[in-house]
Amino acid sequence: MRGRCCTGWLAWVGLATLPVPAFAQPDPSGIQFVTVGSPGNAPFLQGIYTFNRGEVDYTYRIGKYEVTTSQWAEFMNAAFDRPSSDRLPFVNVPLAWGAAAITPTNPGGRHWTVSAANDMIPVGGISWRTAAMYCNWLCSGKSSQRSAFLSGAYDVSTFGYYNNGSTFTDQVAHSPGAAYWIPTLDEYLKAASYDPNRFGQGQGGWWAWLNQSNSTPVYGPPGVTVNGQPTTANSDHWFVTYPNSDPYAVPLGAYNVTSAFGLYDTAGATTEWVEETVHFTDERYPRNRLTMGSSRDSLPGGADRTGATGSDYPSMIDSSYGLRVASSIPAPATGLLMCVWCGPFLLRRRPA
């Protein structure tokens, strides 16, 4: 028998059926991630909370889009369609999204469905704590077990208030080794506004505005022009000019503007939570969490500049608050490494 090619030998030793590298497969979370590289970039040198921030010395991933209605509905169904004796704390139903209520599986539970047309509608009205529990659920592989919502990235048992409710005791940063988490301030800032080729190939720098330019965004519904320029930001400001339009119905990715790393809607959709806490002088615990990026109900102008949009209590629910998930870089699957290592031997011909 004549020699076999690598594929034949792989099949013979059982390696051909091993999985391809994880980075070549859809992420199990269902989220489309982009990779943010260029570790060790220069920091951003503007803003109150963002001055000398944004330097990240490792490669990571972050959502290409904010969480979509379909992604959030899957989480809501897992969290709410449960027996009445198994209610979860700190999980709220969003104030603005594209899902519709249907009959639940469990009596007393809640369940939602999403039409294809509403798949990419952004989700507004997510508290920081609910966002943290979503990351826990993703870390568990979307398990329906109660414990899957309560730990993984954040320990929900730490969630509480102190000093008559003016400060909070929540776990400050995600647990080491978590696969999914709420982005840090530095991670979000870099992914949204740093450009590795800002001043030429390999010459990195920062954009002043979230439309990837140093000019004020142009406001209006997607697909229209204002003074001959295409609209580049989604904000309630244009709702006044276009009263028959609904900014809450604009799907994610509708504006053809991305960050240098491929993020859509940093200048639009919702204001996105980050991990960063805000401390007041001499207080033991933090008061607020920061939000980043502008939102569909921001006023035009300053809110779309690179920097922090504002801050709020981690339990606060507002239609402008949403989420973009950060993630670690998955390791290559073992099968590929074995194929590379064994390749020279597997390619040899057997004697006739």
Measuring CA to CA, which residue among 161, 71, 80, 91 is closest to residue 317?
Answer: 91
How large is the average pLDDT for residues 321-342? 69
Band the pLDDT of 32: cuts 50, 70, 90.
very high
**Least confident stretch, 71-80, 130-139, 157-166, 278-287:** 278-287
Q: Please give the full DSSP string across 214-279, using - where no structure is assigned.
A: SSPPPBS-TT-EETTEE--B--THHHHHSTT--GGGPPTT-SS-B-TT--B-SBSS-EEEEEEEE-
Q: pLDDT at position 240, please?
A: 75
Q: pLDDT at position 338, please?
A: 39
How large is the average pLDDT for residues 318-347? 66
pLDDT at 344 over 60: no
Torsion region of 281: left, alpha or beta (phi above 0 gives left; psi -120 to 50 gives alpha): beta
The H helix count followed by the E strand count for the chain is 7, 16
Query: Pairing relation of β-strands 321-322 and 271-278?
Result: parallel
pLDDT at 21 over 70: no
Band the pLDDT of 261: cuts 50, 70, 90.
very high
Q: pLDDT at position 346, please?
A: 34
Residue 68 CB: number of other CB atoms within 10 A?
25
Q: Quick check: 323 and 137 in contact, CB under 8 A?
A: no
pLDDT at 92 over 90: yes
pLDDT at 345 over 60: no
Q: How far apart are CA 315 and CA 159, in angstroms?
A: 9
Q: Which pTM does this prediction carry?
A: 0.87
Looking at the chain, the whole-number percentage of residues with pLDDT higher than 90 is: 66
Q: How far apart are CA 258 and CA 193, in angstroms?
A: 10
Band the pLDDT of 300: cuts 50, 70, 90.
low
Q: pLDDT at position 73, please?
A: 98
The DSSP bridge partners found for residue 212 are none
pLDDT, tens only, 137-169: 999 999 999 999 999 999 999 999 998 888 999
Q: How far apart are CA 311 and CA 46, in angstroms?
A: 17
Band the pLDDT of 337: cuts 50, 70, 90.
very low
In this predicted model, which residue has the larger pLDDT, 138 or 301?
138
In this predicted model, which residue has the larger pLDDT, 26 or 293?
293
Q: pLDDT at position 165, please?
A: 84
Choose the most confident range, by mean pLDDT, from 153-157, 278-282, 290-294. 153-157
Q: pLDDT at position 84, please?
A: 87
Mean pLDDT of the chain: 86
Q: How far apart are CA 126 and CA 315, in angstroms?
A: 9
Q: How far apart are CA 120 and CA 216, in angstroms?
A: 26
How large is the average pLDDT for residues 301-320? 89
pLDDT at 213 over 60: yes
Q: Quick check: 124 and 321 in contact, CB under 8 A?
A: yes
Strands (E), 152-230: 161-162, 167-168, 180-181, 194-195, 205-206, 225-226, 229-230
Band the pLDDT of 294: cuts 50, 70, 90.
confident
Element (H, E) at 341: helix 334-346
298's CB contacts (< 8 A; 6+ apart) are 235, 236, 237, 271, 304, 309, 320
Q: Quick check: 273 and 323 in contact, CB under 8 A?
A: yes
In this predicted model, which residue has the larger pLDDT, 282 or 229?
229
